Amino acid sequence: MSPDAKPAKKPVSTLFSTGPTRKRPGWSPAALDDAALGRSHRAAGPKARIQTCISKIHSVLELPDDYVVGIVPASDTGAVEMAMWSLLGARGVDVLAWDAFGRLWVADAVTQLPLENVTTHVADYGHLPDLSAVNFDNDVVFTWNGTAAGVRVPDGDWIPDDRAGLTIADSTSACFAMDIPWKKLDVVTFSFQKSLGGEGGHGVIILSPRAVKRVNSYTPPWPVPKILSLAKECKLEAGHFLIERCAGRLRTRIRGKMIKPGAMQIIADTDFQRVKAI
């Protein structure tokens, strides 16, 4: 079949692609019975639920021990924007795009942020750009799986282990759906509405130690809106992440920051144990 041909086989469910995906098998509204709707996220009960949720994200995805996880506002888009506004500018940037969302990140890098050294790698729908042309001395922004195009990178082999820049991967249509080589990625983002079939009001951002080091050592030359800031007083924002040392090792002790109390619905709506089993 030609790579541009219309597929003859279609998904069994039409609830896929760019919108919220279908609920997990066995889901019912009873999942929201103890959702603590309307409660402040600062209360003891909701705060414990947030910690449990992020802990399950860390364990189900089998993240490296020293990677940290945070819940942030504005879905996957907010998480990617947070990474770009807070981390870019320390070195040159390569941005890859082959679908609608990748093109948004290109537009941010080229027209929104005052970046001085940006290289874009843009391909038509159904195709990938030349991955061998990417300069990993720069920070690299790309989508792991193009939500609107259905085209994904083949693996992480094209990303060197000894890269100088950070890799920032919009993975909202990849997390919980396909294997991801975590050590190849420094920032990974997703929302609850794709593979988890949840709501899209909040996103998740995952940081490697290299990304945490950038947050703690670099201040962007532009004003960063509070909602997009990973740092507070030049250090990783403890409201999103709590990092502590245990036996000399960094590990996540998970604290999430919920901007809207109604987002407790998202946590109650997601059953990570069933996700892992599926």
* pLDDT on residue 238: 58
Predicted local confidence at residue 242, as pLDDT: 40
- What was the pLDDT predicted at 269? 77
Spatial distance between the Cα atoms of 236 and 213, rounded to a whole number of angstroms: 9
CA distance 82 to 3: 35
Q: Tokens in use for 212?
A: 């945490």
Q: Where are the strands (E) in the chain, listed by range? A: 68-73, 93-97, 118-122, 139-143, 167-170, 187-191, 202-207, 231-232, 235-236, 243-246, 249-252
Which regions of the chain are under pLDDT 70?
Answer: 1-4, 14-20, 237-264, 271-278
What fold does the segment set 45-277 form as a domain?
Answer: Aspartate Aminotransferase; domain 2 (3.40.640)
pLDDT in tens, 218-248: 999 999 998 899 987 777 865 555 433 333 3
Kindly report, residue by residue over 74-87, the tens digit of the pLDDT: 899 999 999 999 99
pLDDT at residue number 67: 93
Full-model pTM: 0.87
Which of 211, 62, 79, 198 has its CA nearest to residue 140? 211
